C-alpha cells in the first residue's frame, strides 16, 4: 500500500472514531457540526477539489457555521493538495494552529532500546490499574492513560 493510501485511511478512520452530531458533504468538502464540542467535530475538511468557485464555497461554509454559532475551523490534511485553499484562507485572515503529526510503525518492527531515551519498556495491561476507578462508572474501573 502506498504511503498516500495509508494517510487517507488513517484520516478516514480518525474521523469515524470521533463522530459529529451532524455531517454534510458539500462539493468535495466534509462539514462537521457538534454544537461546538471539540474542533475535530466542528470543522471543515477538504477531501476533493470540487467544482464550485473557492470563494463561494468558503463563504457558504462560514454561513453554515455562523448559523450554528460555531467558530469556523478548516482542517487541511496532507492527503490532498491545499495550497490554493491555504492561500485563500490567509487572504480572509485565517491562521494556522494546532498542527497534527501522525506517526506509524509496522507492528512487526523492532522497538527501540528503552535506554535510548524512552521512559522504559512497553507494557500492555489486560486489567486497568486500581487507581483508574471513576466515580459514576458503576464501580467499574476505566483504563485511561494520558501523557
Flag whether the pTM goes above 0.75. Answer: no
C-alpha cell at 3: 504511503
* CB contact at 8 A, 50 and 29: yes
Residues of the chain with pLDDT under 50: 1, 132-147
**Confidence at residue 6, expressed as pLDDT on a 0 to 100 scale:** 84
**Confidence at residue 125, expressed as pLDDT on a 0 to 100 scale:** 63
**Confidence at residue 111, expressed as pLDDT on a 0 to 100 scale:** 63
**Confidence at residue 40, expressed as pLDDT on a 0 to 100 scale:** 83
* CB contact at 8 A, 30 and 24: yes
**Confidence at residue 119, expressed as pLDDT on a 0 to 100 scale:** 55
**Confidence at residue 143, expressed as pLDDT on a 0 to 100 scale:** 39
d(CA 137, CA 135): 6
Q: Which of 104, 110, 130 is nearest to 122 (CA)?
A: 110
End-to-end CA distance of the chain: 31
Amino acid at each position: 500500500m502506498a504511503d498516500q493510501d495509508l494517510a487517507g485511511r488513517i484520516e478516514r478512520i480518525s474521523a469515524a472514531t470521533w463522530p459529529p452530531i451532524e455531517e454534510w458533504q458539500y462539493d468535495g468538502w466534509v462539514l462537521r457540526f457538534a454544537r461546538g464540542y471539540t474542533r475535530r467535530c466542528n470543522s471543515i475538511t477538504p477531501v476533493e477539489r470540487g467544482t464550485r468557485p473557492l470563494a463561494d464555497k468558503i463563504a457558504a461554509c462560514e454561513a453554515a457555521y455562523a448559523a450554528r454559532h460555531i467558530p469556523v475551523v478548516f482542517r487541511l490534511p496532507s492527503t490532498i493538495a491545499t495550497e490554493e485553499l491555504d492561500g485563500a484562507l490567509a487572504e480572509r485572515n485565517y491562521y494556522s494552529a494546532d498542527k497534527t503529526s501522525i506517526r506509524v510503525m509496522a507492528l512487526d518492527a523492532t522497538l527501540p532500546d528503552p535506554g535510548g531515551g524512552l521512559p522504559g519498556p512497553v507494557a500492555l495491561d489486560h486489567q486497568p490499574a486500581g487507581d483508574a476507578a471513576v466515580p459514576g462508572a458503576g464501580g467499574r474501573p476505566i483504563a485511561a492513560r494520558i501523557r
